[in-house]
Structure 1
Amino acid sequence: MFFSWPFFFEVLIGGLLSGVMYSLVALGFVLIFKASGVFNFAQGAMVLFAALTLVGFINMGVPVPLAIVIAIIVMILLAYAVERAVLRPLVNQPPIILFMATIGITFFIDGFGQTLWGSDVYALDIGIPNQPLFFGDILVNSFDLVAAVVAGVLVAVLAVFFQKTRIGRALRAVADDHQAAMSVGIPLRVIWVIVWSVAGLVALVAGIMWGSKLGVQFSLALIALKALPVLILGGFTSIPGAIIGGLIIGAGEKLAEVFIGPFLAGAIEDWFAYMLAMLVLLFRPQGLFGEKIIERV
């Protein structure tokens, strides 16, 4: 294969920007795990449901800004319903019980979304530019640049929220020990509604980006599977790690597919992220930026 540096950097930048899209989904996982110690299997379904709600109201003739506001309200209501119907009865249950509950939430949201909006593929256009840009000999998609800026802003806001605000500190206390947090007056029910609402807003942002790029369809829920290697690499408790993990996965799989794939019959992009995640699990199970958990017995 003929090698040129402009082409190499074009593939690298394309991979980095694709990784940002993975990171938008991974952020939702990190939020709920960081604040409750629960792996939310339903995050992919929340991305799909948020995108379906937005495009559904837009197709009904609602202006885009108002449709976004309505979608935000719907995701907050969904968070309240999840807390009231599922999480509240399971306070102080083992994490595996809560994890299994999120699997049930996944199938409910999928079915409920299909009942409300149907199973067709919907185009989503809210005015995000999608023209190619040339930086010298390097081609970059303007849509991917917008996604990168949005992800950067989200990470900055969420990092400040968790580290500097009173609610953020309460969220981390709840994750450490539900019972202890309640004993010092932290309202567990309110905290869970807040964190699931924030995760719902992140899901809406991810749904807008992925829906604008691929169309709003039920396969969007499967992008959660691609976010798992990002989580393993960056760490389940690290918000910046979700972004850096996404960048590593995105760049690695694109470079491997283009420059190594021809020698291995291709399709490296389908499994590269999972093999990299397995290697990380072998040598650093908590991820590159995750907090090491020490259990005393």
Structure 2
Amino acid sequence: MGPFLETLIGGLMAGMLYSLIALGFVLIFKASGVFNFAQGAMVLFAALAMARFSEWIPQWTGLSSKLLVNVLAFAVALALMVVLAWLVQKLVLSRLVNQEGITLLMATLGITYFLDGFGQTLFGSAIYKIDVGMPKDPLFLLEQTFPGGILVGQEDLIATVIAALLVGVLSLFFQYTGTGRALRAVADDHQAAQSIGIPLSRIWVIVWSVAGFVALVAGIIWGSKLGVQFSLSLVALKALPVVILGGLTSVPGAIVGGLLIGVGEKLSEAYLGPMLGGGIEIWFAYVLALVFLLVRPQGLFGEKIIDRV
């Protein structure tokens, strides 16, 4: 029972981090109706900014307090992501209002490659570290109940709590604030939202800024675990099955989808891997997403599209 619970807890923690990245996809899709392939590049760009400003600020200011340096680096990186959101709206989205979905999709692909290249031009392409003080030593829980206890990484546990709090706050923001309701109205119909006075440009800046904030938090967490490198943008690929499973328009779906995939891939690797030769954790999420596309393409919480003729 102990190994099962350890695997289950590990899957839940990984799943919550997947949900955090998937949330960025859902936010953009709800506001613009386009799948934002640039989310992974935003995670990499934000993590690079945090890592490099953490190095540069002590050189510029002479500060020695790691906490203060990290707070300033976070603030500067967040401001950079907000400026990026404004530029995306001003230079790209404002010129593509009411265009076909494929046009917006191609625009996000262009933003992806631009951010990948521009980020490395600004901040460099080496492997950088992010140290925000999260402890990396493991914890052994329930030692009195199970022999040897249940091994849980402190860093993973703290990252999971942060991700869960952020996802919860954003869920409440969408449900109970005027801006959240405006975002849902824009997602339903751009022209109708404009006709009742909702400023489309302001809404898009807000949602891209929030997605940039989510990317920054995700980049810090994953950068602290894996180091900041080009492959960090590929972590976002794990969020694609999450949004397919949960539904492209559902914030709760991103949470549930992330948890299901995180737990499923860990348990399948632990219990089916020895029989099938391992490697299940790599492809499990994508096979599960394929099954959902065949059976329920709108996802668990997505809205079923009905065309009337």
2:283 and 2:72 map into 1 onto residues whose CA distance is: 40
Residues 28 and 202 in structure 1, CA contact (< 8 A), matched pair in contact too: yes
2:169 and 2:14 map into 1 onto residues whose CA distance is: 21
Residues 162 and 169 in structure 1, CA contact (< 8 A), matched pair in contact too: yes
Residues 26 and 243 in structure 2, CA contact (< 8 A), matched pair in contact too: yes
| Matched residue, 2:103 | 97
Relative to structure 2, which stretch is displaced further, 42-51 or 261-270? 261-270
- After superposition, residues 169-208 of structure 1 pair within 5 angstroms as 169-208=181-220
Shift in Å at residue 37 of structure 1? 1.1
**2:21 is aligned with 1:9:** no
Residues 230 and 249 in structure 1, CA contact (< 8 A), matched pair in contact too: yes
Relative to structure 2, which stretch is displaced further, 227-236 or 148-157? 148-157
Relative to structure 2, which stretch is displaced further, 53-62 or 206-215? 53-62
Q: Secondary structure at the match of 1:163?
A: helix
| Matched residue, 2:41 | 45
Which runs of 5 or more residues in structure 2 are unaligned?
A: 59-68, 143-148
* Counterpart selection for 1:56 from 52, 57, 69: 52
**2:283 is aligned with 1:271:** yes
Question: 1:77 is aligned with what amino acid?
Answer: V
Question: 2:184 is aligned with what amino acid?
Answer: R
Shift in Å at residue 294 of structure 1? 2.4
User: For each residue in 1:217-258, what CA deviation from the matched residue of structure 2 results, as whole angstroms up to 9, or x when unmatched?
Assistant: 110111121110111111111112112111111111111111
Shift in Å at residue 138 of structure 1? 0.7
Could you say what the CA RMSD is over the residues aligned between the two structures, in angstroms? 1.0
| Matched residue, 1:154 | 166
Residues 45 and 110 in structure 1, CA contact (< 8 A), matched pair in contact too: yes
- After superposition, residues 234-273 of structure 1 pair within 5 angstroms as 234-273=246-285
Where do 4+ consecutive residues of structure 1 move more than 4 Å?
Answer: none
* Counterpart selection for 1:231 from 243, 249, 273: 243
Q: TM-score, normalised by structure 1?
A: 0.96
Q: Secondary structure at the match of 1:134?
A: strand
2:31 and 2:134 map into 1 onto residues whose CA distance is: 32
| Matched residue, 2:76 | 70
1:66 and 1:295 map into 2 onto residues whose CA distance is: 50
Q: Secondary structure at the match of 1:250?
A: helix
* Counterpart selection for 2:225 from 197, 200, 213: 213
| Matched residue, 1:86 | 92
* Counterpart selection for 1:132 from 138, 142, 152: 138
Which runs of 5 or more residues in structure 1 are unaligned?
A: none
Shift in Å at residue 175 of structure 1? 1.0
1:133 and 1:255 map into 2 onto residues whose CA distance is: 21
Q: How many residues were matched structurally?
A: 293
Shift in Å at residue 295 of structure 1? 3.0
1:87 and 1:296 map into 2 onto residues whose CA distance is: 30
Residues 20 and 167 in structure 2, CA contact (< 8 A), matched pair in contact too: no
* Counterpart selection for 1:292 from 264, 279, 304: 304
2:151 and 2:239 map into 1 onto residues whose CA distance is: 26
Residues 36 and 172 in structure 1, CA contact (< 8 A), matched pair in contact too: no
Shift in Å at residue 296 of structure 1? 3.0
Shift in Å at residue 61 of structure 1? 3.2
Q: TM-score, normalised by structure 2?
A: 0.93
